[in-house]
Amino acid sequence: MPGFGERHYMDMPDATEDTRPVSLLTCKSCGARNRIRPSAKGVPACGTCKAALPWLVDASDSTFDTEADAAVPVVVDLWAPWCGPCRFVGPILAELARDYAGKLKVVKINVDDNPRTSERFQAYSIPTMMVLKGGQPVDRIVGALPKDQLVARLAPHLGA
């Protein structure tokens, strides 16, 4: 029985618990689903076959900084479900995450739910795609583009 003045920590989360968000990434080589947390070092690899995983995650105002801190270039997709051009470019970005697995991370931000990140990148027109390297914006693409044009625009940043 705790003495007077002692506090209960039973309901407190374990201080060593990993609170980083978990994303479910599907391996393009073997189809295995991997639970991956953001990391500023390296790129995620499949636990089953070791192939680089397509790295596409949904982030929020509270997880954005953690997700955007990556060793590879990050494309931030500022989008909304009601935006037609966003729905056009969304699957293209998912394809790019597969095509450039190990070289690129796509971080999706729903602007309706995440006003802080939207404001930070002044995403007044969507889709707005920010290319970040080392956390710093190096390019800004406003409006949807066909895949070949988006690849041409991103290639210099991907070393491709």
46 is catalytic: no
Nearer to Zn ion, 46 or 107 (CB): 46
Tokens 């479910």 locate to 24
Nearer to Zn ion, 27 or 78 (CB): 27
83 is catalytic: yes
Closest CB 30 distance from Zn ion, rounded Å: 3
Closest CB 53 distance from Zn ion, rounded Å: 8
Closest CB 73 distance from Zn ion, rounded Å: 23
**Ramachandran bin of 102, using left for φ above 0, alpha for ψ from -120 to 50, beta for the remaining angles:** left
Closest CB 102 distance from Zn ion, rounded Å: 13
DSSP class per residue in the chain: -PPTT----TTSPPTTS--S--EEEE-TTT--EEEE---SSS--B-TTT-PBPPEEEEE-TTTHHHHH--SS-EEEEEE-TT-HHHHHHHHHHHHHHHHTTTT-EEEEEETTT-HHHHHHTT--SSSEEEEEETTEEEEEEES---HHHHHHHHHHHHT-
Nearer to Zn ion, 78 or 101 (CB): 101
Applying CB under 5 A, the residues found at the interface with Zn ion are: 27, 29-30, 32, 46, 48-49, 51
Nearer to Zn ion, 21 or 47 (CB): 47
Active site residues: 83, 86
